[in-house]
Amino acid sequence: MMRGSAHGSLVLLIGQIITAAISTITVIWMARILGPTSYGQYTIALLPISIALLFQDLGMNTALTRFCALYRYERRTQDLRTVVVTGLLFSVATSIIISAALYILAGPIATGFLKRPEVTPLVQASALAVLGAGGLLTTIQAILVGYELMGLRSFTQILWSITRTAFTVGLLLIGMGAFGAVLAFTASQLVAGLLGVLLIFIFIKFEAGKPSLSWAMMKEFLSYGIPVSISSLIGGILNQLYNSIMVIYVATDLIGNYGAAVNFGVLVGFFTFPIATTLFPLFSKFKPGDPQLKSIFRMAVRYTAMITLPVVMVIIVISGPLTQLIYGADYPYVAVYLNLYILAYAFEGLGGLSLGNAIVGIGQSKISLRSSILTFILGASLVLLLGPTYGMVGILLTMIIAPRAGWLYQIIWARRNTELTVDWSSTARIYATSLLAAIIAYLLIYVPKLRGWPALLVGGLTYLVVYLFGLPLSGALKRSDVDQFEALVDELGPLGRIGGWIISLLGRFTRK
C-alpha cells in the first residue's frame, strides 16, 4: 500500500516539475511582452479569483477525495457514481453562482476593492475562471486523487499549462494585451476542466445505473468538508495578518529580501505537495480503529521525513553561497530569512504532513478545524508581539512557532483517540543523521571559505553522501525500507536505473 503511494508521489512530482517549467517560461515571456504596467493589471485582475475560490469549494473537493478512496476500499462501488455526480453538480452550481456574481459586480470590485476602475473588463474576463478552476478542474483532480489515478491527475495539470501557454501566445501575438492574458487564463481553465470531465468517464468504470444526485450524500459531504474549508479560510486570514504587520513594521528593502527568500520555498514544495496529495487518499481508506492505520502512519512519517528533511537541511547549509550567486550583494539578508523560512518545513519527522492528513482522512475534520483555531490564536498573538519589535525576524519566528500549537493538539488527540504515535526512535535517528550531514557539509564550505559554484557542489554532494550512507549506518534505514524502494524504482524502468544503483549500494550497509 505504501509502495503505491510512493509511486504516486513520484508521478505527481514529475508532473509538477513539468507544469512548473512550462508555466514559468510562459509567465516570463508574458511579462516581457506586456511590460510592467499591463502585467501589473493582469496580476491585480486575478486577485478576486483567489478570494472567490476560498468560498466556492466549501470543502467539497476534500470530501470527494476521501469518500472516493473510502468507498473503493470498502467495495461500495454502487455508490461511487453518486459520489462523483453529486460532487460535480455541487461544484459546478456554486461556481456558476460565484462566477455570475463576480461578473456582475466587476465594476464595484475594480473601483472599490482594487482601486483601479480600468481593470473592470479584465475582472469580467476572469469571472468564468471560477467555473473552470473551482467547478471543474480542481474537482476532477480531487476525484482522480480519490481513485489514486495520479498519472491522470498530473496529466490534467500539464494539459492546463500547455493550453494556457497556447492561448496566451496566440492572444498576445494578435495584440489583445492584458485582456488577452486574462482571457487565456480563463479559457485554459475551462478547456482543461471539460477535458478532465471526459477523462473521468473514459478511465473510470462505474457500475451500470442511472446517475443520481443524493441530497443526503451532499449533506454528509458538507458536514465533513465545511470544517476543512473554514480551516483554510482561517489560515488565509492569518497569512493576511502576517502580511499586514510586515507592511506596517518592516522596511521595503527587507520585504524585498523576504520575497527573494520565499522563492526558494518552491524547492521544498516540489516534494511536500506530491507526498501530501498521495497520503490523504491512503489514510481515507481507514477508520480510527483500523489496526493497519497505526503502522501505515508510522511508515508514512518516516518516509516523509527521509525525503523532506535533507532538502530542508541542504538548503540551509548552502543558503549563503546560493543566494549570493543568484542575487548578489543587493540582497544581504536573504540568506538569513531563507534559513528561518525553510525551517518551518523541518517538522515532518514529528508528524507534519502525515498527522494532519491522517486526522482529516479518517473523517475527523473538526479536529483539523480546532487545531487551525489554536494556530491562529498563537500566531496572531505572537506576530502582534514580535512583529513590531523584531520586524521580519519576528514574523518569521511566528511562522515557525505558531503551527506547533495545532500540531501539539493533534498529536495529543491522535494518541488518546486513535493510538497514532510517531516512531520516536526512528525519528531521532533521521534527525541526527540529517544534522551530522549538515555540520560536515557546512564545515567543508565555510572553513576553506568557498564561494559560488564550488561551494554549492562541495556542500551539496557532501551532504548527499553523508546523509545517504548515514541512514543505514544509524539504523534509520532498514532492510524493509530498501526492499520498498527497490520495488519502486523497478517500476520506473530506465528512469530508475541510477536510483536502483544507489539503493542497491545502500542495501549493503543496511541492518536487517
Last residue of a domain, one of 451, 471, 492: 451
For residue 119, the 8-state DSSP code is G
Grid coordinates standing for 374? Answer: 489554536
**Residue showing cell 516570463:** 28
pLDDT for the residue 445: 92
* Percent helix, percent strand, percent coil in the chain, to nearest 5: 85, 0, 15
My answer on whether 168 and 297 are in the same domain is: no
Cα gap 407→258, rounded to integer Å:
25
Give me the mean pLDDT over the 277-297 stretch. Answer: 79
My answer on whether 7 and 105 are in the same domain is: yes
pLDDT for the residue 171: 92
My answer on whether 302 and 428 are in the same domain is: yes
In-domain check, residue 475: no
In-domain check, residue 468: no
Q: Average pLDDT over the chain, rounded to whole?
A: 83
My answer on whether 145 and 266 are in the same domain is: no
Query: Which of 22-36, 257-271, 324-338 shows the lowest per-residue confidence on average (mean pLDDT)?
Result: 257-271
What domain count does the chain have? 2
**Residue showing cell 543505514:** 472
Q: Tell me: the pLDDT tens digits for 110-163?
A: 888 877 888 899 889 888 888 877 778 888 988 998 888 888 888 998 999 999
| Residue 343 to residues 24, 338, 398, 460, Cα–Cα distance (Å) | 25, 8, 12, 18
In-domain check, residue 153: yes
pLDDT for the residue 511: 61
In-domain check, residue 383: yes
My answer on whether 264 and 348 are in the same domain is: yes
Q: Tell me: the pLDDT tens digits for 336-375?
A: 989 999 988 888 778 877 888 888 888 888 999 999 999 9
My answer on whether 209 and 234 are in the same domain is: no
My answer on whether 107 and 161 are in the same domain is: yes
Cα gap 17→270, rounded to integer Å:
7
Last residue of a domain, one of 213, 239, 271: 213
pLDDT for the residue 433: 92
My answer on whether 251 and 191 are in the same domain is: no
My answer on whether 72 and 177 are in the same domain is: yes
My answer on whether 73 and 143 are in the same domain is: yes
User: Domain range spanning residue 209?
Assistant: 1-213
In-domain check, residue 465: no
With CA atoms as reference, report the closest residue to 64 among 168, 5, 146, 150.
146
In-domain check, residue 89: yes
Provide the CB-side half-sphere exposure for 112 (13 A, CA).
5
Q: Determine the straight-line distance between the first and last CA of the chain, rounded to whole angstroms.
A: 21
My answer on whether 429 and 280 are in the same domain is: yes
Q: What is the largest CA-CA distance in the chain?
A: 72
In-domain check, residue 276: yes
In-domain check, residue 480: no
Instruction: Give the three-state DSSP class for 33.
Output: helix
Long-range pairs of 65-68 with CB within 8 A, sequence gap ≥ 24: 65/142, 65/143, 65/145, 65/146, 65/280, 65/281, 65/284, 66/146, 66/224, 66/280, 66/281, 66/284, 66/360, 66/361, 66/363, 67/146, 67/221, 67/284, 68/143, 68/146, 68/147, 68/281
- Band of the pLDDT at 72, cuts 50, 70, 90? confident
pLDDT for the residue 498: 47
Query: Which of 252-256, 470-474, 478-482 shows the lowest per-residue confidence on average (mean pLDDT)?
Result: 478-482
Last residue of a domain, one of 451, 467, 484: 451
My answer on whether 238 and 167 are in the same domain is: no
pLDDT for the residue 401: 94
